[in-house]
Structure 1
Amino acid sequence: MKRILAAGLVLAGLTAPLAAEEIKELNFGIISTESSAGLAKSFDPMLKDLEKAVGIPVKAYFAQDYAGVIEGMRFKKVDLAWFGNKSAMEAVDRAEGEVFVQTTKPDGTKGYYSLIIANADNNNVNTLKDVIDCSKGLNFGNGDPNSTSGNLVPSYYVFALNKVDPNKCFKRVVVSNHEGNALAVANKQVDIATNNTESMDRLKQLRPDDAAKIKEVWRSPLIPSDPLVWRSDLPADLKAKIYTFFLTYGRLGSDAEVERQRAVLAKTSDGWGVFVPSSNAQLYPIRQLALFKDRLKIEADTKLSADEKAKKLEAIDAQLASLDEQMKKTPAM
């Protein structure tokens, strides 16, 4: 445990003092994967423990969509937050955020899967081939534009690779969070929708009757588990307290206290295990995916001249090459 903390403190740049404004309250941003009421109940016990550890009030911060939490961090209304990888990438690029730890599952695994789901009674959709068959006139529930599993991953693997434009292929496209999309499928309001294995596990716990009405018709490659991101300009001593809390939570203390904390984690979001050190390097595969998606879009753009297309593709290839070099130099987490 001491080695994990020491290595993580160096990784997070906490060994050097920082001058920053005094923080009297921490706002913890929570992305809108479901209703705010459900998420508040889920996160409240852990945030109360964080409050005790850092010695200042910790408040949950909700917004209507992922962009609201990103913008909250940009304008210093959010100090640290739970993000998906795509929204974390936006927070790093647009809001001076910094990944510092990664969530895990109770069994220690560090990943999950994006899904395309359909109603269990829908015999018209059973495979990926059915999903991208534009002649079926399906109604599609897409995810938040800043969602990794709800938007970025399926937009590349399901649609871009198969040269399908959802806005042209489907009869109707609606956008919602994971819970909203799942319930829309269960209630036959849409034919198919994006989702992920974590949200489906949570739905099975909270609304088993609705979960039973849903079937999986496509599953993505493994996606890295969600990161926690803090404002890079937080005071170093406060960062150290926050970091120590998350890296020791569910690990250190009496047997009874460790058991209590792990029980809290198991009921947070879709069910978490202990946290592990991380950094912005966690986002490299997501950056690759976003660039690959853009590359395919440019290749298929018939409005670009040959020279324009070549220049744009060259620029993306240069970014991909640079990213590849960075990944080679980054030690495994």
Structure 2
Amino acid sequence: MKRRTLLAALTALAAAITLPLYANAQGLDPAKLRVALLPDENAATLIQNAQPLKRHLEAKLKKEIEIIVTTDYSSMIEAMRFGRIEVAYFGPFSYVLAKSRAKEIEPFAVGVEKGAPNYKAILIATADGPVKRIDDIRGKPFGFGDQASTSSHLAPRAHLLKKGLEGDKDYKVVHLGTHDAVARAVQAGQIPAGALSEPIYRSLIERKIIDPAKVITIDLTESIPNYPITMQGNLAPQLKQAIRDAFIDVKDKEVLKAFRVEGFAPTDDKAYDVLREMATILKMDLSK
């Protein structure tokens, strides 16, 4: 009897240990998904524009959806790193930074605009200001957005370097936080020139936030891979597939409006190696 009792106890203990391990191996399947949007514009505007997305995801995934806009790019990276959000819409470079610190995150969809999964940064100047062309930037302030922004920092800064203009040597680097802040500052003449995402710039004009008569275009960068949507790698496989399908298959223009794209296509980490190359050109340490 003692032997049978001991055997039964050991069997029960093994089952108790194995069950949570098995459940963990299947991945997480939370009742609520926290979806973070890149803080490249005013947070209230982003959350308002994302309400159709919230309703779409709740209908497709049968889960509560919380839309989150962090205070800046760095806090969004840290939130993803420590599992405080499940799905995130990163900028290309902020994704590269996040991936360097949290290997388990997975990009799965990329925005498509005008039939392509890429876009450009635009360099603009005050219409009646001192900057009319690239060379005029020398010796003057130049406005960028967040330091972790691709199209409002990394790409245009690398572009200027290729043109022979090094930041904080040939011109003064000014960080203004968001894309719309750069456009507003240039329009107002607070800084003579700056850079931001071309799609965001066009959107600001369409929404009559920026008057195109007060701003001129001085250059465009080379193509940049578009913003990726990522998810935590420890989610349950069936949930991952459902999230992929919910984004890749979306056709509703009101949902897509939050991302300023026509639709989404599949993507992977290799698509963003070009950003790692830009960081190398600028001698940036991705681990910091």
TM-score, normalised to structure 1's length? 0.73
Give the aligned partner of residue 131 of structure 2.
125
Whether 1:224 aligns to 2:230 is no
The residue identity in structure 1 corresponding to 2:61 is V
Deviating more after overlay: 80-89 vs 171-180: 171-180
1:279 aligned onto 2:285: no
TM-score (norm 2): 0.84
Q: Which of 109, 115, 140 matches 2:122?
A: 115
Equivalent runs, 1:18-37 vs 2, <5 Å = 18-37=25-44
The 1-side partners of 2:212 and 2:65 are apart by 33
- SS of residue in 1 equivalent to 2:132: coil
State the AA in 1 paired with 2:134.
Answer: L
**Matched residue, 2:188:** 187
Q: Which structure: larger Rg?
A: 2
The aligned runs of 1:1-333 (5 Å cut-off) are: 18-95=25-102, 96-105=104-113, 107-122=114-129, 124-131=130-137, 133-134=138-139, 138-159=140-161, 161-170=162-171, 173-250=174-251, 261-265=252-256, 267-269=257-259, 271-294=260-283
Q: 1:172 to 1:66 in 2, by over 3 A?
A: closer
Structure 1 position 29, deviation (Å): 1.0
Q: Report the secondary structure of 1:146's partner residue.
A: coil
Structure 1: 4+ residue segments shifted above 3 A: 162-165, 168-172, 208-212
Say if 2:29 and 2:239, in contact at 8 Å, map to a contact too.
no
SS in 1 for 2:238: helix
Secondary structure in structure 2 of the residue aligned to 1:46:
helix
Q: SS of the counterpart of 2:125? A: strand
Q: Residues of 2 paired with 1:288 and 1:117: CA distance? A: 24
Deviation at 1:57, TM superposition (A): 0.8
In structure 2, distance between residues paired with 1:224 and 1:21: 30
Partner AA of 1:284 in structure 2: D
Which amino acid is 1:154 matched to? P
Counterparts of 2:45 and 2:225 in 1: how far apart (Å)? 24
Q: Which runs of 5+ in 1 are unaligned?
A: 1-16, 251-260, 299-333
Aligned length: 261
User: Alignment partner of 1:89: what SS?
Assistant: helix
Q: Distance in 2 between matches of 1:87 and 1:213?
A: 30
Q: CA RMSD in A?
A: 2.0
Name stretches of at least 5 consecutive residues in structure 2 with no aligned partner: 1-23
Deviation at 1:171, TM superposition (A): 5.3
